[in-house]
Structure 1
Amino acid sequence: MNDEPLVLLNPGPACTTERVRAALGRGDMCHRESEFTALLADLREGLVRCLNVAETHETVLVTGSGTSAMEMAVISSVREGRSLLVVNNGVYGDRLAKIARANGIPVTEVSGDWTTPIDPELVREALAADPSIDAVAMVFHETTTGLINPVRAVGAVVRDSEACFVVDAISATANEDEDLADIDADFICGTANKGLHALPGMSFILVSQKAVRRLYEVPTRSLYLNAATYLDGQRKGDVPFTPAVQVCFALDEAIKEFEERGGFAARTAEYRARADLVRKAVNDLGLKILVEPPHRSNAVTMIRLPEGVTYPTLHDELKAAGYVIYAGQGTLSKEFFRIATMGEIPWPKLERFVDVLGSTVHQLRSQG
């Protein structure tokens, strides 16, 4: 085993900088004191600022994984007696539907192949056919396959209706080509880790004014994840439950680092370059990438396993060299693996990875 820290090439948790990790050591802080009120304000303002939606959205922070933000958004977007339309072409689209059903919200689905972006016209047709639809939920980046969905086009369709648009941008926050400011989303779900390079444990929804009106019209479906309670408190500098204070320190540092490094444009360019490096190496090895080039994300590449090589074998060989890759999901798990180039990955380490990947694949092929 390599003595250096493992480089995580999985789609979260992502690697972070020493500066962000060091922020955990700022010390203990009571969340009912003025110091935390100031920190909370900085985070709420910093997130909408660095994600380019300060003029249209405000932040609701919640302690939890990205799924907590997804659940908060779903249960806050559909009024009593109405339904949710879910765009489902991957594991996380399916999760949105499961969240709704678990909370007693009727669901209609527009389903598609896991490797193909959904046709926005199907959303338009579904909205026209069912006046009970109160919100449309979809995933920006399906990390199941590395597929980018047409969020901007779907947002334009939803904008012409009474429905709210809920976007799971958890693995697309700050690192995909379409700016969050341009997708007409009312509820944007994000997390501190992944593209923002903070630590897991804090998530958020960014809410438009339409979303704010909606979350006060829905029934209370959860004690812990009731967005109206959080928004009321956070507007006054308060939180309803004990937050992960030290993780808030790290998020604060990550926002500063993000902006100092050039913000959205710089990080998106960095992620594209990383993906290009990995994909060229994969193509040179003769391995198939599942998603076609126009629809690929900047952060995740889904690759067919070399013939005769199992995922556990490939995973263990690469881990011994210092790199953690990720398995496929669902029906793709036996044939494909994923490389996620998100988080803090110094370029020389990524260059070394593609060399290690090449030599490992050649070695395993020769053994087969």
Structure 2
Amino acid sequence: MLSDQNLASAEAAPLPAPALGEPYLLTPGPLTTSREVKEAMLRDWGSWDGDFRGMTSELRRRLLALTGDTKDEFDCVPIQGSGSFAVEAMLGSFVPRDGKVLVLANGAYGLRAAQTLVYLGRAHTVIDKGDYLPPRGDEVAAALDADPAITHVIAIHCETSSGILNPVAEIAEVVHARGRKLLVDSMSAFGAVPLDVSEIRYAAMVSSANKCIEGVPGFGFIIARKDELEAAKGRSHSISLDVHAQWAHMNKTGQWRFTPPTHVVAAFIEALRQHAAEGGVAGRGARYTKNRDVMVAGMRELGFETLLKDRWLSPIIVTFFNPAHPNFDFERFYDLMKDKGFIIYPGKLTVVDSFRVGCIGRMDEHVMRRVVEAAGQSLKEMGVDTAAPPEAALTERAKLAA
């Protein structure tokens, strides 16, 4: 994955720096956006106006085009709110009240899906793989064979609490073979990691405006089979999170049912156009992969160690163990990195101390080299001469990943 050939490839021209000298957000979203995306929000839009209805139509059409749906079997439904709103909308609309969900968890967001199902009153069971490993097809197959009551499976495409990229194609194959339905939380992967409906069979997936498309926060979106959307009528627990009602209303009127995030939509349209100009999913994914490879190689030279083995590292965000050195303090490290123009992300693991560095957003390999330089300078300012992790962290990783 982190090949010398990748690292030695010809360098592209640097992307423009963020507007107004703002720091880079090395996070899984919100993330650094382009000046053009920000400027798209300088105009006000009437939510009922024909121009805005045209923007909503363009948004839905462009997102559908990213799925490879050539048979017109899917549709796109934007939902106001953060990504978690959209995940709840998907679960509440597509899982019948007498259904049962197998939740595939290997981090905070799989566990959040399970918690959401508790609130929804939907039966569910969980395969929890901890922080280090993905759920695999044979495990899913065994769980489905053992429990015929399971109707749906939800998988997290990229679990950003650890940075692991889960094998959704492998999971989709066994779910489909057993006549169950797959729901995909592709919040932090859609737009940069392929999720082609001709290769990965799913009933519905969900993502958000402020992730790999590089828009700003304000809405999520569900892409689902039309027959699943039809079947969802009257099923939702919530008036505002009813995916069928939103879909039917948009198809009838071209409008959102409730006040839409107009400025966010305008920014997202610009982000979608930039995404297409970069080469779509393949182009965006290639830049993020290069970002990861350059950053991980540099951080390892400083002594940092990744939580995950190379085969599971996503191009979205990477988790590093905190250094064992007694002078290392994450809060101080965070502040030093911010002073140098980079906002990193705290860890979200329960077993060991860690932090995360995002690879997504309007930045490239040139920026990632500066990130590594800033990390090295910050360690020196803290009096940390090596970023090697505690031996116990490596032992725990080896034990759990065995």
TM-score (norm 2): 0.86
Q: 1:220 aligns with which of 223, 233, 236?
A: 236
Aligned to 2:270: 253
Aligned to 1:200: 217
- How many Å separate the matches in 2 of 1:240 and 1:139? 28
- How many Å separate the matches in 2 of 1:20 and 1:221? 35
Correspondences of 1:157-306 after superposition (within 5 Å)? 157-176=174-193, 179=196, 182-216=199-233, 219-236=235-252, 237-306=254-323
Q: 1:39 aligns with which of 30, 52, 55?
A: 55
**Quick one: structure 1 residues 257 and 224, their matched pair in 2 at CA, closer, same or farther if it must change by over 3 Å?**
same
1:76 alignment partner, SS class? helix
What letter corresponds to residue 100 of structure 2 in structure 1?
S
What letter corresponds to residue 62 of structure 2 in structure 1?
G
Aligned to 1:342: 360
Aligned to 1:321: 340
What letter corresponds to residue 130 of structure 2 in structure 1?
D
Asked if the contact 1:139–1:167 (Cα under 8 Å) also holds between the matched residues in 2, the reply is yes
**Quick one: structure 1 residues 304 and 294, their matched pair in 2 at CA, closer, same or farther if it must change by over 3 Å?**
same
Q: Following TM superposition, by how much is the alpha carbon of 1:58 offset from its aligned partner in structure 2, in angstroms?
A: 1.1
The RMSD of aligned alpha carbons is 1.8
1:87 alignment partner, SS class? strand
What letter corresponds to residue 313 of structure 1 in structure 2?
R
Asked if the contact 1:145–1:290 (Cα under 8 Å) also holds between the matched residues in 2, the reply is yes
1:189 alignment partner, SS class? strand
Q: 1:59 aligns with which of 65, 68, 76?
A: 76
Aligned to 1:50: 66
Q: Following TM superposition, by how much is the alpha carbon of 1:52 offset from its aligned partner in structure 2, in angstroms?
A: 3.2
1:304-352 deviation line (CA, Å, top 9, x unaligned)? 11222121111011011111001111415x6210000111114433222
TM-score (norm 1): 0.94
- How many Å separate the matches in 1 of 2:307 and 2:342? 21
Identity of aligned pairs, percent?
A: 27
**Quick one: structure 1 residues 330 and 288, their matched pair in 2 at CA, closer, same or farther if it must change by over 3 Å?**
closer
Q: Which shifted more, 275-284 or 114-123? A: 114-123
**Quick one: structure 1 residues 180 and 42, their matched pair in 2 at CA, closer, same or farther if it must change by over 3 Å?**
same
**Quick one: structure 1 residues 366 and 117, their matched pair in 2 at CA, closer, same or farther if it must change by over 3 Å?**
closer
- How many Å separate the matches in 1 of 2:124 and 2:88? 14
Aligned to 2:393: none
**Quick one: structure 1 residues 132 and 214, their matched pair in 2 at CA, closer, same or farther if it must change by over 3 Å?**
farther
Aligned to 1:153: 170
- How many Å separate the matches in 2 of 1:198 and 1:366? 37
Asked if the contact 1:186–1:210 (Cα under 8 Å) also holds between the matched residues in 2, the reply is no
2:21 alignment partner, SS class? coil
- How many Å separate the matches in 1 of 2:237 and 2:179? 22
Q: How many residues align?
A: 363
What letter corresponds to residue 369 of structure 2 in structure 1?
E
Q: Which shifted more, 59-68 or 71-80? A: 71-80
Residue 93 of structure 1 pairs with residue 114 of structure 2: no
- How many Å separate the matches in 1 of 2:196 and 2:319? 23
1:213-272 deviation line (CA, Å, top 9, x unaligned)? 4423x6231111011101101112122111101111011111111101211111111010
Aligned to 2:382: 364
What letter corresponds to residue 325 of structure 1 in structure 2?
I
Aligned to 1:138: 155
Runs (4 or more) in structure 1 with deviation over 3 Å come to 50-56, 177-181, 365-368
1:167 alignment partner, SS class? strand
**Quick one: structure 1 residues 213 and 125, their matched pair in 2 at CA, closer, same or farther if it must change by over 3 Å?**
farther
Q: Following TM superposition, by how much is the alpha carbon of 1:38 offset from its aligned partner in structure 2, in angstroms?
A: 1.4
Asked if the contact 2:66–2:196 (Cα under 8 Å) also holds between the matched residues in 1, the reply is no
Q: Following TM superposition, by how much is the alpha carbon of 1:178 offset from its aligned partner in structure 2, in angstroms?
A: 5.7
